[in-house]
Structure formats: C-alpha cells, structure tokens
C-alpha cells in the first residue's frame, strides 16, 4: 500500500542517518559500518524532501539523478519504481549511495542543508536499490533492439561497468576484460569492505551478466591478449584502466625501510579477507605496530581505518593542512576519529628516523596556512616547530598519477605529458584512434566513482553515435 506524503515532514522530523554498528565491532571487523534502514525509516527520511522545485541536489550530482522523484516514490513505498528511476541515470546507484562524498555533492546542495539537516540522499539511494534487488528487481531489457555491433571494454572498474551498462541497454554486444579475478576495479580491491563490501560488486556482476554482458576476468590486455588483436576482435574499444602510479615522495631515510605503499596495503588486506591470490599484493599485517599514514584523502582514511581493524598499537594521520582543507569526505574523517585514529594536522613530514636500520619515527614540522594565487591555502613551515613522532610503519598515501600502458601509443591513442589520455573534441571520450574511447580516472585523473560513471555513460553514447556513423558510411559506399 502506498503512503501519503507529508510535505512538511522536515519541520518535525530530524535528519537521521542509518545506525552504525557499535565501536567495538567496527574496530575489529571489516564489514560495512552502516546498518540498512528499515522500510519505515527510509520512508520517513525520504518524506523530508521539500520538493523545493529547484533541485540543486540534481545539479550537484555528477550523474544528475532524479533525486526528488525517487525520494517521493521511496516515501510512498514504491521501491521497484524508485529503483527503475535510479538506474535511468546511474549504473551503480547502490555503490554511489554508499561511497559518494555526499557532504560535498548532492547533500551539500540540498535546500534543507541550510539549517534543517540535508535529506539523507545517499543512504536512501542505497536502501532503494538494495531493497529492490532483494525483492527481485532486475533491469527490464524486453524492449531493447539488438544492434549488430560488438564493443570490447578493458577495465571492469566503475568506468568500464557504466559503459557496459549503457551499451547493453542499447542492444550492443559487450565483452569486458579485466586482469583481476572479480569486477569492480578499485571498488572491489582498493576500497575496504567497511565502506563497500565485495558482495555488492559480486551481486552487480550477476545482474550485468543477466543482461548479457560477457566478462573475461584474469585477463590482462598486453599480456594475455595483445591490444592489436583486441582491436581486430571488436567494432570499437573502450578503455577504463584507472590510475595506479603512486605520487612519489622523497624524504630522507626512505631508502632504509619501514615504508608501506597504500594501495598494496589495502589490496593485500582485501585479498587476505577473501582468500584471493593477486600476485604483487601480499598481506601486510600491522597488528601491534605504531602506524603513521601520510596524506589526507580517501586513500589515507581507508589506510588508517584498516590499521585500526588490524589491531595496530597506535594509528595517526599526518596531514600538512587543517581538517577543513582535507580533500576526502569529512564523513570518513569523522568515522576515523571515532574509531580511534589520531590526527596530526598542519604537520609536514621532514624525514624518517631509523635506529639500527629499524624505523623508529618521523620528524615533522608544524605548518600554518597562507593564501596563494591558485586559491588553495598553502602550508608554510613554522620555524622552530620541529618534532618527532614515534613510528614503526609509515604508509604513504599521496594519491595516484596516470599509468598509461606502453601499447596505447601503438594503437594511436595519445596521452598528455602527465600521462592522461587525450579525448574529444568531436565525440566525448573519443581518443586519437576514432574507434577507441576512454573515460574514468585515466582521462580525468584520480577522482570519484560517480564522475567515472558519469563520463563513461556519456562516452558509451558517443560509441553508439560513432558506430551509427560508420554503418551509414558503409551503406553509402
Ligand atoms: C583507496 C581508495 C579509496 C577511494 N575511495 C573513494 C570513495 O570513497 N569514493 C569515491 O567516489 N571514490 C573513491 N576513490 C576513487 C575511485 O575509486 C576511482 O575514482 C574510481 O574507481 C575510478 O574508476 P575507473 O573505472 O576509472 O578505474 P579503476 O576503478 O581503477 O578500474 C580500472 C580497472 O582496469 C583494470 N585494468 C587496468 N589495466 C588493465 C589491463 N591492461 N588489462 C585488463 N584490465 C586492466 C584494473 O584491474 C581495474 O579493474 C578511491 C580510490 C582509492 C585508491
Ligand atoms: S550518485 Fe552520489 S552525488 Fe548523485 S545522488 Fe547519489 S550519492 Fe548523491
């Protein structure tokens, strides 16, 4: 039965995020920290939407979700219809609901954020899709007209999956290649289970396979299949290879050891949790260690919270700016603080300290922020503020640069000096080779799941346009 919407619900109903598991559970387990909403809670929270007539939330959302519309449906308990609508604009809504930084996207733009508490848009998006899938929702492709084209997609991260989703819904035959044993890219292997459990991606794989997407996993292009061979197997190619080269740091003492690379650490932990064997990603156990994590983004937050769960003796995050200027989601910073991570804000690493080749600490200097021409406050060292922090392991989490494979150039795909792939200007995502397209982090630089999805969905439409033009030319010839 559908519920009647109360347009003034926001006046007497406070913003209510889903409950989280108790701290003692969170500090020792890797499962997602949020419990699901009950049907009643989801409807109550959805009803808080003002339907203000000028949905800034939709504009701030990179995929421009029809937020007020699916909130209304969820408020009325019409979950299957809400799930249909969620999927019209987003290929992985259950993922975005979990890990988008809503506090600087949709929820920041919510009219109620100015004093009443934003609608919990992300949590409701997650609820709608989880609940609909539980009740048997599946994409309806009965109206889809099959097209005679085959597209090869390399990379099963959010960019590759979003491209596969849109192409399949438009009748194009799709094969997705990935070097890993499971789909998801960083969603499955980089981002820890306490934010996004691997089973969410396994469930999405079943759905995509049900729609006809063919996955070839454990298959690295350039090693198992040559790129030139792949080109001849498909009418067009899409690359969503991500960015995997760590931003390098150069600190005195680094050569003496004690350093843990962030992504290897996170991927090794996920593989350990699931008994997966990924060559090059050993399990690094920091139980009992004094851990410092350098950096202030999402990767740094995932590392500190992983170290807490592994039972590190102490975990500190060292960041050169203040909390306000951290690049990652403030929600994750808050969770890290609650879980016992200490933060050394305004702290610049100076060098690693070893005794008998064993890491014992990190020298830092305190900073203050000064205005700069590019608009972002720059840290400036405060003279005489040097200090030593104890450490037996230091994780470097300074972000990632592009990692274009050597074979790209031979395909006619050009890259900038930074390594980012050049695309456009005629068709979104089209590279120097007109039949090859790219999107996600390898084009934009390390960013967000939702921006990778947005770019890849647009690129999928470009691929269809390109194939239609090719077909028209063939007919004329
Ligand atoms: C630790 C960490 C935490 C993050 N947390 C968040 C967060 O909370 N919220 C958020 O929005 N974003 C977060 N991000 C960013 C987000 O994960 C990325 O922006 C997003 O995954 C990019 O998607 P993509 O598809 O471009 O690349 P990826 O997710 O990196 O996927 C690329 C895929 O290509 C495959 N591949 C590469 N080369 C080959 C080859 N030669 N042959 C076959 N397969 C290949 C890889 O195996 C991988 O599966 C985080 C990133 C990191 C590193
Ligand atoms: S996709 Fe992300 S930004 Fe858009 S509505 Fe969902 S949680 Fe908000």
Domain residue spans in the chain? 9-134, 150-243+402-476, 248-399
Report which ligand 2 atom has the smallest distance to the Cα of 105: 3
CA dist., res. 112 & res. 15, Å (int): 9
Instruction: Give nearest CA residue, ligand 1 atom 44.
Output: 178
pLDDT tens for 312-355 read 999 999 999 999 999 888 999 999 999 999 999 999 999 999 99
Same fold yes or no, 150-243+402-476 and 248-399: yes
Q: Residue 477: how many CB atoms within 10 A of its CB? A: 5
Q: Which ligand is nearest to the CA of 123?
A: 2
447 lines ligand 1 (CB under 6 A): yes
Q: Cα(212)–Cα(214) distance, rounded to whole angstroms?
A: 6
**pLDDT at residue 375, rounded to an integer:** 80
- CATH code for the structural domain at 150-243+402-476: 3.50.50.60
Residues of the chain with pLDDT under 50: none
Tell me, in angstroms, the distance from the centre of ligand 1 to residue 364's CA: 31
Residue 476 in tokens: 């004329």
Q: Take atom 6 of ligand 1 and give the residue whose Cα is closest.
A: 298
Strand partners, 314: 290
Taking the model in full, what pTM does it have? 0.96
Atom 21 of ligand 1 has which residue's CA nearest to it?
A: 186
Burial 440-449 (b: 16+ CB within 10 A, else e): bbbbbbbebb
Q: Nearest bound ligand to CA 281?
A: 1
User: Which atom of ligand 2 sits closest to the CA of residue 67?
Assistant: 5
Does residue 265 have its Cβ closer than 6 Å to ligand 1?
Answer: no
Residue 96 CA to ligand 2 center (angstroms) comes to 6
Ligand nearest to the CA of 453: 1
Across the strands, what pairs with 41? none
Confidence (pLDDT) at 12: 83
Give dist(CA 6, CA 12) in Å, integer. 11
Atom of ligand 2 nearest to the CA of 60: 3
Q: Which ligand is nearest to the CA of 187?
A: 1
- The rounded Å distance from CA 191 to ligand 1 centre is 9
Task: For domain 9-134, give its CATH number from 3.40.50.2300, 1.10.1060.10, 2.40.50.140, 3.40.50.300.
Answer: 1.10.1060.10
**Which mutation among 94, 125, 449 tests ligand 2's pocket best, with the greatest number of atoms within 8 A of CB?**
125
Please write down the HEC assignment for all residues of the chain.
Answer: CCCCCCCCHHHHCCCCCCCECCHHHHCCCCCCCECCCCHHHHHHHHCCCCCCCCCHHHHHCCCCCCHHHHHHHHHCCCHHHHHHHHHHHCCCHHHHHHHCCHHHCHHHHCHHHHCCCCCCHHHHHHHHHHHHHHCCCCCCCCCCCCCCCEEEEECCCHHHHHHHHHHHHCCCEEEEECCCCCCCCHHHHCCCCCCCCHHHHHHHHHHHHHCCCEEECCCCECCCECHHHHHHHCCEEEECCCCCEECCCCCCCHHHCCEEEHHHHHHHHHHHHHCCCCCCCCCCCCCCCEEEEECCCHHHHHHHHHHHHHCCCEEEEECCCCHHHCCCCHHHHHHHHHCCCEEECCEEEEEEEEECCEEEEEEEEEEEEECCCCCCCEEEECCCCCEEEECCEEEECCCEECCCCCHHHHCCCCECCCCCECCCCCCCCECCCCCEEECCHHHHCCCCHHHHHHHHHHHHHHHHHHHHHHHHHHHHC
Please give the class, per CATH, of domain 248-399: alpha beta
Q: What's the pLDDT score for residue 374?
A: 81
């Amino acid at each position: 039965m559908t519920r009647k919407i109360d347009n003034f619900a926001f006046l007497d109903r406070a913003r209510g995020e889903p409950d989280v598991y108790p701290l003692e559970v969170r500090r020792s387990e890797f499962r997602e920290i949020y419990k699901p909403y009950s049907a009643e809670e989801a409807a109550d929270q959805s009803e808080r939407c003002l339907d203000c007539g000028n949905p800034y939330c939709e504009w701030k959302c990179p995929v421009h979700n029809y937020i007020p519309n699916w909130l209304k449906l969820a408020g009325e308990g019409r979950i299957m219809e809400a799930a249909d609508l969620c999927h019209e604009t987003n290929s992985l809504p259950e993922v975005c609901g979990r890990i988008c930084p809503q506090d600087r996207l949709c929820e920041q733009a919510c009219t109620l954020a100015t004093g009443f508490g934003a609608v919990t848009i992300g949590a409701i998006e997650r609820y709608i899709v989880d609940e609909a899938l539980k009740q048997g929702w599946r994409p309806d492709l009965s109206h889809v007209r099959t097209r005679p084209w085959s597209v090869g997609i390399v990379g099963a991260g959010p960019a590759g999956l979003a491209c596969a989703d849109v192409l399949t819904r438009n009748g194009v035959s799709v094969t997705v290649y990935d070097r890993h044993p499971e789909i998801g890219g960083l969603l499955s292997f980089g981002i820890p289970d306490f934010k996004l459990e691997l089973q969410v991606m396994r469930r999405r794989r079943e759905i995509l396979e049900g729609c006809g997407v063919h996955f070839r996993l454990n298959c690295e292009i350039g090693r198992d299949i040559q790129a030139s061979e792949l080109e001849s197997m498909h009418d067009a190619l899409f690359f969503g290879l991500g960015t995997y080269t760590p931003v390098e740091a150069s600190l005195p003492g680094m050569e003496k050891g004690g350093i843990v690379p962030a992504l290897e650490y996170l991927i090794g932990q996920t593989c350990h949790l699931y008994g997966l064997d990924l060559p090059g990603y050993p399990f690094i156990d920091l139980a009992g260690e004094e851990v410092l994590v350098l950096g202030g983004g999402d990767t740094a937050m995932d590392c500190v919270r992983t170290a807490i769960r592994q039972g590190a003796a102490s975990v500190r995050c060292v960041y050169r700016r203040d909390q306000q200027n951290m690049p990652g989601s403030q929600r994750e910073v808050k969770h890290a603080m609650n879980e016992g991570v200490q933060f050394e804000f305004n702290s610049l690493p100076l060098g690693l300290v070893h005794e008998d080749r064993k890491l014992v600490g990190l020298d830092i200097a305190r900073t203050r922020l000064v205005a700069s021409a590019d608009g972002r406050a720059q840290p400036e060292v405060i003279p005489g503020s040097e200090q030593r922090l104890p450490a037996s392991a230091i994780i470097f989490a300074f972000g990632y640069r592009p990692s274009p494979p050597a074979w790209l150039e031979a395909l006619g795909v050009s890259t900038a000096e930074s390594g980012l792939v050049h695309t456009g200007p005629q068709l979104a995502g089209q590279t120097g080779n007109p039949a090859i397209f790219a999107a996600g982090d390898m084009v934009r630089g390390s960013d967000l799941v939702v921006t990778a999805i947005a770019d890849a969905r647009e690129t999928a439409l470009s691929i269809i346009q390109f194939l239609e033009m090719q077909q028209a030319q063939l007919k004329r010839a």
